Structure 1
Amino acid sequence: MQDITNKLYKNHSLIYKGLLFVCTTFLIVYLFPKSGKFKYNFEKGKPWQSENLYAPFNFAVKKSDEEIAAEKQNIIDHSIVYFNEDAAIEKKVADLFNVEFKKTFSDSLPKSTLVNIYNTGNKIISELYHFGILNEDYNYPDDRVAVILEGQVKKHNTQFSNLIKQDEVKSSIVKLLSEHNLDDYETMFVSLFFDLVEPNLTLNESFTNKALKDDLDKISYSRGSVEKETLIISKGEVIEGDKYQILQSLKAEFESQVWTKSNYNWILFAYTLLVSLALLMLLLFLRKYRLDIFENNTKVTFIFFNIFLMVLLTTLVVNYNSKFIYVVPICILPLVLKAFFDARLGMFAHVITVLLLGSIVPNSYEYMFLQIIAGIVTILTVSELYKRANLFISVAQITLIYIIAYFAFFVIHEGSVDTINWETFIWFILCGLATLFVQPLIYAYEKIFGLVSDVSLLELSDTNSKLLKELSNVAPGTFHHSLSVANLAESCASEIGANAMLVRVGALYHDIGKMKSPTYFTENQTTGINPHEELSPKESAKIIVDHIINGIEIARKYNLPDRVMDFIRTHHGTSSVYYFYMKEKELNDTAERMDFCYPGPRPFSKETAILMMCDSVEAASKSLNNPTSIKIDSFVESIINKQIEEDQFLNANITFKEIESIKKVLKHKLANIYHLRIEYPE
């Protein structure tokens, strides 16, 4: 049991990566569509490239979206409108008319005239309420069928134009009076009926909406069917008209049909294989070319998280509306990975992600081509992300590449630009604007995952920061030494293509541990008194060596990133405090060199190796008397060669050629510092 526990502990990092790999694979597969994918690619107006296609099963030919939309609109335009009639209102108006008639018309009129007026009034009431008066103005076409309901029972049908609107009551009265030669009584009649007439028709919304819904539900989404083994299209035949609609119907039927449990499991298995293969390639890339990242579980988690995030965002957009697919800022992925790691890893992860997205998006070939090209442009153009102008320029270039590539694809597919959808260009511009979100995203990632980007390094390089201010006040000599080393290291890093910003920041902070006891270091001794004279060589060596441990403690207190603390740990490697070791040896022949060595570790990157060389050369250069070019050359060679002999660079991925380039830079810089002329051979 103990052996198993020990093995698990020993391999816990690999076990974690295995679990991360499995979890990410299943999460991505969960987001993928769970139906089969139609194996033929076709485009309207283009020849059929595959062999003759026969119907693999019976299926219905679906109507196009335009046909269905037109059919729905036609039903909406001609649907029946239902109105409720209040039958009591007509009787109420007639009764009031009998009462008001006697008050309005004088008995002095001839009896025949009064009878004619009375009968005309009743006829007006009958005409007005024959179909009914609307309670408000409804905006329906005149030819719309209107059904009058008495209670819940259908009374009669008519056209909407026969129903009287309230503003039409007067004109109806005037018309009837004219027909009965009673124009002289128009004013009296209009005044009388204005007070009497009430609307008796109200819209029955529930009946109207239900009738419309029933009619819409009866729409057939297919027109005809295709029998199994029927020839659908021949090779070379142009895809248009009914052929295109039949192919679309076959594709939709294939992708939406109900799958058996066996089919479903096979599809899941196939997707799992593809996703795991893609993620495995990424892990193998890290294992072979980025071992330091592979061995850091936080960094591997960060990379897998970003890939999953891009797949998640794209899936959500596709499920909502696939026309917005190009709004998703996929180029954020290579930007982020380049900011924290390097361009090659950013490009590799971007390609893997785009390949995964090919199983989700429509027009996968076009999508993958555009995104890979945009990713390449992102990697090639974005440099020094901490400079705001660079990011804006790069985003503009990325957006332009999207637009050019999409335009080219459209012309290839359609053969002209007449029907180009200019709205898509707006999505590309929005994608470019969304890509600018990378700056706050990088800041959030730094806090969540404890990583450091060039943006943070720029902030840390500010000599007015609290920690560097304290260093300049407490140990001014060490601060000046750190500035000199930073300038040397930055030049060397630029010469061999290392991260110049990182090595500069590392150099500025590498000696902060000397703040604990600044006067024990020669660069801070201004009074001529050396406190080491009162200590034994071992005690002095311990104080010197402890500035590494003290530096790490201070760095943690000020929350410096691990990448910066690496410079504090490694800038002396496992070398010895040679002066005090030799002094101890004079007193004691049995002195152990290990008692005078720094704890390490040795430098394990180009940047930390550069700092070790520059720190040693700069510190030792203070002891040069009457420096000449020959002296400086010999001095630089001896210091760095000694470090090589002690295997200090054994773990750093730095070549002899790069070390020689660093030597040349250091010789040239020191010659400039001491204002020496280059000695040309005679």
Structure 2
Amino acid sequence: MNPGRVKRPSPKLGKVGGRWLRAGIWVGSVALLTVLSPLPKSHEFSDLKPGMVSDREILAPFTFFVRKSKEELKGDREKARLAVPPLLRYHRDVGGKELKRLEDFWKLAARARRDSATFLSLRDYPLQEETLRELVRTSRRPRTWRRFVRACTEVLKDFYGRGFLEDKSKVPPCSTGKVMIAYEGGEREVPLEDIWDLKGLRERLLSQLRARLLSEDLALLGYEVLTAFLSPNLSLDEVETRRRREEAAGKVGIYKRLIPKGYRIIGKHELVTEEHIEILRSLAQEKMKRSMERGAWPRARTMASWAVLNSAFYFLVMGHLLLFRRNIFGRNGNILLLSILFLIPAGTASYLRTMPELFFLLLPLPLSSMLATVLFDVGVGFVMTVSGALLSGQFLGNLGMTVLSVSAGTAAVASVRQVRHRKQFYGALGVLPSVYVIGVPVLSSVHLLEMGPLGKAMTLGALSGISFPVLTIGLLPIFETLFGITTNITLVELSDLNHPLLRELAVRAPGTYNHTIIVSILAEAAAEAVGANSLLARVGAYYHDIGKMRKPEYFIENQMGTSNPHDRLSPTMSALILAAHVKDGLELAREHGLPKAVQNFIPQHHGTSIMEYFYDKARKQMGDVSEASFRYPGPIPQNKEAAIVMLSDSVESAVRSLKERTPARVRGMIREVMRKKLEDGQLDGSDLTLRDLRRIEESFLPVLMGVFHPRVAYPERREVAGVRAGNGGTEG
């Protein structure tokens, strides 16, 4: 048996069930979808159409109610809303404050006739100078003044006792023409025409003063004064009004008439009308409902039908993973996450189907599409979109929503297909609302959507289009943490060379840091050449050797001309120290919270390969030794990216050891390293093909020749006095 194939990792969730757990997720998801599925629609009597002549007589087999059509129910609910009078609240304290202000004003005006300084205080009130002077002159006539003050105060008190609004036109209409006024002790219903507002109040104010004051001049003066003390003490309670109206709309019955048993619905040779169709549709639905309640078989048959349909849509996603994304399919955590993303729009559709069609625009399919795309890839996101839209459309019974969901989901997937920074979600914030704003009127024009006022539907669609990217940004870190998935956004954050681990590596093990940078360049180029995740390969390369920080002096790239401590150690001890950097690296990665996808590069970049130098040294010193003692603990690379980092690491070290780095010798070394890894079984778990290896070889060569390029040998610089003098005292 090949030693390189001994240690392979078990799946993350294999310990808790493996395939059985995966099957449980599948069965549970399909079962939940089936529970959420709506009752089937009966097609009995569907052969009868308005305008046809009935070929049979139909009698009511039992008593049942005729359901209202959507339009009738909508109209009745609107009537119920309009029948509820708007609620106005009476604020007693407003009148009290204004009357107290008026009383203080009278006192000031009375003092102003004797004290000129007090007259200046009157200017704080919003009255003209001439009005104030006329007021002071009037106060010098005691009898007239008392009559004037009493009349003005009584008029204002009457107005506040009655109550008035700021603007009556803002009160929502009511079919009864009335409003409800809420006082501290209860409520009173009054006609809206009896309610005054500021505009109407000013018209009545002058007539009231004229009736109480004999002088036209005094009435006009009182009018000028009292307009400064008018503050509405009635206000519209929009929230409570809306609540009461919605409550009334909710109480509207869904049935419009009762059909008794034996009633002749339609006779033979009778012309079929819309009324007949409504009654027959209600009869068919009632028959379906009773058959479901009466026997287990009809219900089981319906549930089985939905289970088959739900399975078809659900396994469209799972089949895509099995055929084209085996790396995703092999992990049960991914299956569970995708099942959740699939259930989110389906469950929402199940809830929305009982609501007005306008609310269908809240279907969160684009949310699931974006999450699937960012957490996995574009292909998974698109399949999720198509499958989820078809199923949600079935739940809602609305072809228009299927079309709109596919359009919005596809746009969502396209807008986040290459997201590496959170600010790139701004594109989705612009694209998605546009899809809804354009899609709703287009689909409404061909009668695939019936959502009422277009402006309201387009506004709700635009708000949904804005909210889905925002929710995606918020949910991404949660799903990443719960399911151990590393997105490109997280990888970009980890690629910052100012990360604490990388800065510490540069200080404590500068040779390893330099080696890491070169390996990352090689890995990124190779990953791009074979279509792997180049960002993951580069970030994995950055952190693959962080364990060397614990004992940097035991690795040759950090010795920098000093003595090699391995010269004083046995080969077995040296092998243990080298292998320990894998364990140390994993500990550091966990301490700093590196995601699992990045941690995997630390043990897998060596796989179970042998430490050839110390193994050969041990054989020379001790003869027959166990090869397993000189192998890294593994596991071998489990994806293309880890295998590429393994090859990059080995090739960089091997080429650095060459004394002559001509293209031919470098290419030969690359091939030799790849051959050894291939024969040792180190690439068996990575899915790399021979064609991929040739492409990796071609990508390595220019990078290595650029890094290890030869330099011109400059002659030794000598200071020659005559030359310096000849150059005008400067160095040439």
Number of matched residues?
541
Secondary structure (helix, strand or coil) at the match of 2:365 reads: coil
Secondary structure (helix, strand or coil) at the match of 1:260 reads: helix
Structure 1 residue aligned with 2:462: 429
Q: Counterparts of 1:423 and 1:41 in 2: how far apart (Å)?
A: 36
Measured against aligned partners, the alpha-carbon deviations of 1:97-156 in whole angstroms (never above 9, x if no partner) come to xxxxxxxxxxxxxxxxxxxxxxxxxxxxxxxxxxxxxx9899999999xxxxxxxxxxxx
Structure 1 residue aligned with 2:34: 29
1:91-110, aligned counterparts within 5 Å?
none
Are 2:519 and 2:648, in contact at CA under 8 Å, matched by a contact in 1?
yes
1:50-449, aligned counterparts within 5 Å?
58=60, 221-222=256-257, 227=265, 259-262=292-295, 263-363=298-398, 365-413=399-447, 421-436=454-469, 437-449=471-483
Q: Counterparts of 1:68 and 1:495 in 2: how far apart (Å)?
A: 62
Are 1:61 and 1:226, in contact at CA under 8 Å, matched by a contact in 2?
no
- Alignment of 1:530 with 2:535, yes or no, is no
Q: Which moved more, 1:57-66 or 1:449-458?
A: 57-66
- Alignment of 1:633 with 2:667, yes or no, is yes
Are 2:292 and 2:299, in contact at CA under 8 Å, matched by a contact in 1?
yes
Are 2:348 and 2:364, in contact at CA under 8 Å, matched by a contact in 1?
no
Are 2:337 and 2:483, in contact at CA under 8 Å, matched by a contact in 1?
yes
Q: Counterparts of 1:640 and 1:411 in 2: how far apart (Å)?
A: 62
Q: Counterparts of 2:439 and 2:82 in 1: how far apart (Å)?
A: 43
User: Cα offset for 1:558?
Assistant: 2.2
CA RMSD of aligned residues (A): 4.5
Secondary structure (helix, strand or coil) at the match of 1:451 reads: coil
Are 1:516 and 1:550, in contact at CA under 8 Å, matched by a contact in 2?
yes
Structure 2 residue aligned with 1:560: 594
Are 2:585 and 2:602, in contact at CA under 8 Å, matched by a contact in 1?
yes
Measured against aligned partners, the alpha-carbon deviations of 1:552-590 in whole angstroms (never above 9, x if no partner) come to 222222222211121111111221111112222222331
Q: Counterparts of 2:57 and 2:554 in 1: how far apart (Å)?
A: 89
User: Cα offset for 1:39?
Assistant: 4.7
Are 1:53 and 1:233, in contact at CA under 8 Å, matched by a contact in 2?
no
Q: Counterparts of 1:412 and 1:488 in 2: how far apart (Å)?
A: 55
Task: Flag the 1:247–1:539 CA change in 2: closer, same or farther, 3 A.
Answer: same
Structure 2 residue aligned with 1:14: 19
Per the normalisation by structure 1, the TM-score is 0.69
Q: Which runs of 5+ in 2 are unaligned?
A: 1-13, 85-160, 165-172, 179-190, 195-243, 712-732
- Alignment of 1:595 with 2:623, yes or no, is no
Task: Flag the 1:455–1:22 CA change in 2: closer, same or farther, 3 A.
Answer: same
Measured against aligned partners, the alpha-carbon deviations of 1:497-552 in whole angstroms (never above 9, x if no partner) come to 21111111110110011112110001111242110110112211221122112212
User: Cα offset for 1:391?
Assistant: 2.0
Given the alignment, which residue of 505, 514, 517 partners 2:548? 514
% identical aligned pairs: 27
Secondary structure (helix, strand or coil) at the match of 1:384 reads: coil
1:579-590, aligned counterparts within 5 Å?
579-590=613-624
Secondary structure (helix, strand or coil) at the match of 2:598 reads: helix
Secondary structure (helix, strand or coil) at the match of 1:221 reads: strand
Secondary structure (helix, strand or coil) at the match of 2:636 reads: coil
Measured against aligned partners, the alpha-carbon deviations of 1:362-404 in whole angstroms (never above 9, x if no partner) come to 41x2222222233333333423323244322234334434444
1:411-490, aligned counterparts within 5 Å?
411-413=445-447, 421-436=454-469, 437-490=471-524
Structure 1 residue aligned with 2:729: none
Q: Which amino acid aligns with 1:274?
A: L
Are 2:53 and 2:269, in contact at CA under 8 Å, matched by a contact in 1?
no
Task: Flag the 1:226–1:619 CA change in 2: closer, same or farther, 3 A.
Answer: farther
Q: Counterparts of 1:408 and 1:49 in 2: how far apart (Å)?
A: 31
Does 1 or 2 have the higher relative contact order (CA < 8 Å, sep 6+)?
Answer: 2
- Alignment of 1:503 with 2:537, yes or no, is yes
Task: Flag the 1:414–1:585 CA change in 2: closer, same or farther, 3 A.
Answer: closer
Q: Counterparts of 1:568 and 1:51 in 2: how far apart (Å)?
A: 80
Secondary structure (helix, strand or coil) at the match of 2:454 reads: coil
Q: Counterparts of 1:29 and 1:634 in 2: how far apart (Å)?
A: 60
Task: Flag the 1:220–1:455 CA change in 2: closer, same or farther, 3 A.
Answer: closer
Q: Which moved more, 1:21-30 or 1:442-451?
A: 21-30
Per the normalisation by structure 2, the TM-score is 0.64
